[in-house]
Amino acid sequence: MEKEYQELADGTLILKASKDYIIKELSSAAENKDAQDYFNQAEQYCINGQYTEAIEAFKKSLAIYPTMSALLNLGNVLSITVKYADAYNTYNKGLELARQTGDKWFEGAFLSNMGFMHNREGKPDKALGFFNDALIAFRNANDEQEEASELENIGSMHMVMGDKVNAIKYLNDAIEIFSAIGQEEDVANILNKIGAVHIAMNNKDAALECYNNAAAIFNAIGIKISEARCLNDIGLTYVDKKDYKQAINYFSGALMLFKEIGSNEDEAVQLGNIGSVLRDLNEKDGALKLYSEALCIFREIRSKRDIANQLTNIGYILILKDELDEALVHYEEAFPLYEELGITLHAEMTKKNIDIIKEKLLLKKM
């Protein structure tokens, strides 16, 4: 049966039951039509973002005939709407039913989704326990894809908990399975995670190897936005290594891809990244040009934080060029934006620069 996933606000995908699953569960139930109809209504409500109505429809389906499918999907909706206590209770009822019927796949699904809930609540240690139990269930269900997914989840929890060695171990185990079943996108995504772990361990060369391998996979399967993000990560790593020529090469590659796919915000970020490298190389005019181009894009998309950041970047370059009046204009525009956004540290630093510039201008007039 084809699998389906529920996307959470942060982009995380959790397991849900498709119509095929509930049809299978209801095949021997006389009341299957009404239970099925309410389930289908609930699914449509979810698609429309009508979660209150979806919850009620799932409950009506369950009142007619309790199914793991409806319990799983109801738990997901309760989780999405931040009704965590109700979601846990629903998942646990489903888990009990799965164990009573010996359904290992549903057992794994309930355990995994509860693990994600614990993680969202900032309890990675509890989440890890649920993901470990889900791993066993999916292995018993002979579901290699979900087995690999749980290995990735376990590795991710070790990352969050600072256990970098185990993070790499479990993530590599996940890669081995995903590679064997031909899920190259998952392989590339996990390579990025391993790269991030190596960065945290200050193993920059190992991180570069992961990022480059991931970029090559994304290029081969035609996912340009992910390839571009890998190139950005590679560029940032070369900045850390102070290999500015390579950093510019990779930022430029990412810039080209982001332009091609029309991602204006990412395009502006790359312009800013290249500008910062030129700043570090003391190429003030080049940096000023790219910061200004990035600022124009951020103004178009009305990204206030990015506007403020580019204004201060430009202001800094103008100070270096001794163009203090222009620098002051940029810092004074940035300051209220940081205050409005509640970014206190940046606001304080910007105010200090404003005061310094005003003092220098005053001395010039004396």
- Indicate the domain borders of the chain: 1-101, 203-262, 265-366
pLDDT band at 27 (very low <50, low <70, confident <90, very high): confident
Pick the CATH number of 265-366 from 1.20.810.10, 1.25.40.10, 3.30.70.920, 3.50.50.60: 1.25.40.10
pLDDT range class, residue 32, cuts 50, 70, 90: confident
Taking domain 1-101, whether its CATH number is 1.25.40.10 is answered by yes
Picking from 242, 239, 272, 267, the residue whose alpha carbon sits closest to that of residue 253 is 267
- DSSP readout, 43-59? HHHHHTT-HHHHHHHHH
- State the residue for tokens 């109700």: 86
- How far, in Å, CA of 281 to CA of 245, rounded? 10
For residues 241-264, average pLDDT: 97
Confidence of residue 25 (pLDDT cuts 50, 70, 90): confident
Mean pLDDT, the chain, integer: 94
What CATH number is given for 203-262 in this structure? 1.25.40
What is the pTM assigned to this prediction?
0.88
pLDDT of residue 31: 57
Question: Same CATH fold, 203-262 and 1-101?
Answer: yes
Residues sharing a CB contact under 8 Å with residue 319, sequence separation 6 or more, in sequence order: 327, 353, 357
Structure tokens belonging to residue 103: 């359904």
